[in-house]
Amino acid sequence: MFKWVLNRELKYPRQYISPMLEDLLKLMLNKNPHKRITKGKQNKIKRHPWCADIDWDAIFQRKVRPPHIPSVFKSNFDPEFVRETSILTEKKLEQTDYEANESGVRRPRAKRANLDQTFTT
């Protein structure tokens, strides 16, 4: 997947993304790291025309409600995406015991020694 991202041209669907947003995304996702807007260049993002209506002070003071707050009780992934077949070859994890999270939900714990061998390309 890493090589695919590096070697292919990104397509921006016009029905969802305006030319102004496309320009910002191209600056942020530039394949050349020297031309990419990255950490330390936030002001360039804030000055981009697509961000012109954003009240950055209000955001930093947490006065702006986010347009989407992910649920902690259900999946936040699109069901269509979740149904897609993985291109990786999965090896089955061995379940040795269970561990509980902060909410008391018990989940299978995989043997730690096998985690590095879980996925192969």
Domain boundaries, position 53:
1-67
Question: How far apart (Å, rounded) are the C-alpha atoms in residues 88 and 1?
Answer: 10
Residues 38 and 97 in one domain: no
Give residue-wise pLDDT tens across range 24-42: 988 888 888 888 887 677 7
For residues 107 and 50, state if they share a domain. no
- Cα separation, 57 vs 63, whole angstroms: 9
Its pTM stands at 0.52
Are 96 and 51 members of one domain? Answer: no
Which residues of the chain are modeled with pLDDT < 50? 113-121
Do 112 and 61 reside in the same domain of the chain? no
Same domain, 55 and 94: no
Structure tokens at 27: 């600056």
| 9 and 43 share one domain | yes
Q: Residue 31 falls within a domain, yes or no?
A: yes
Q: What is the DSSP string of 90-118?
A: EPPPPEEEEEE-TT--EEEEE-GGGGGGS
Q: Could you tell me how many helices (H) and strands (E) the chain has, helices first?
A: 5, 4
